[in-house]
Amino acid sequence: MKKTALVTGASAGIGKATAIYLARHGYTVYGGARRTDNMLDLRSYGITPIALDVTKDESVVACVNQIFAAEGSIDILVNNAGFGLEGAIEDLPMQDARYQLEVNVFGAMRLAQLVLPKMRENRYGKIVNISSVGGKIAFPLGGWYHASKFALEALSDSMRNEVKEFGIDVIVVEPGATRSEWGTVATDILLKVSGHTAYKDLAAKTHSLFTRLAKDVAEPIVIAELVRKGIEAKIPKARYTTSQLASLLLLGLKRILSDRQLDRLIMSQIK
């Protein structure tokens, strides 16, 4: 039977690419995002746009109930909605830090809570959480973003074993640098938050590093392909990571270097 997928953060970048890619491969797709005007073009692919603010429970509940009413269930949930806050932990207002976690962590988990009962009833379901290489390695001036992705990884590990007996798979996808609005927004926030504080030198060097990295990024379709690979695998892997050399090298070094050695390596790249 044709499977129904909800992709969050579908107004741009990885979310939009994933929604289109799944629709092209036979899935019934709903794209959720706050900026519904940026999803109007999705209709031409047979995708249904839905207004979704993952930080507002009434919006999340309404989105899920709308799909349940139309399709009966949500078979695949792609938790992609997210953004990155950059800035020194000392500088970043706690209100902003809480919002980072609301979007990247609590919003994703609330959606999982709402779709799981139907998945259990159907003895089938796929929950794909879009994490990051930054869910394994933390860079300076990105503490709250990394905290959100580290948390998403841990919650995915717990949930994976909780729901396995019900025929449900929990899959983590870990993109490296990917072409999207994320990088521009993150670097703008970085300079706004810490560009004029005690951390201004580190902020300037980190901004320069981001600018260099922006020249060698993966296209969003690469992540969309990983999502489809995971949900269609008979026995999916717990994690799928992009094949970018820099990402694979960094994750490999984390496994063999001590914390202090890794710190020196990261700071040498920034400086």
Pairing assessment for the beta strands 76-79 and 168-174 based on DSSP bridges: unpaired
Residue 23 neighbours by CB under 8 Å, 6+ apart: 29, 45, 46, 47
Q: What is the sign of the dihedral through the CA atoms of 237, 139, 89 and 218?
A: negative
Q: What are phi and psi of 248, to 5 degrees?
A: -65, -40
Taking the C-alpha atoms of residue 193 and residue 93, their distance in angstroms, rounded to an integer, is 9
The amino acid present at 31, given as its one-letter code, is G
Identify the active-site residue in 27, 30, 145, 199. Answer: 145
The answer to whether residue 145 is catalytic is yes
- 72 Rama sector, left if φ>0, alpha if ψ -120 to 50, beta otherwise: left
Residue 126 neighbours by CB under 8 Å, 6+ apart: 75, 76, 77, 168, 169, 171, 230, 231, 236
- Write out the two tokens for 74: 């949500």
Helix 245-256 vs helix 259-270: crossing angle, to nearest 10 = 150
Which residues are known to be catalytic?
145
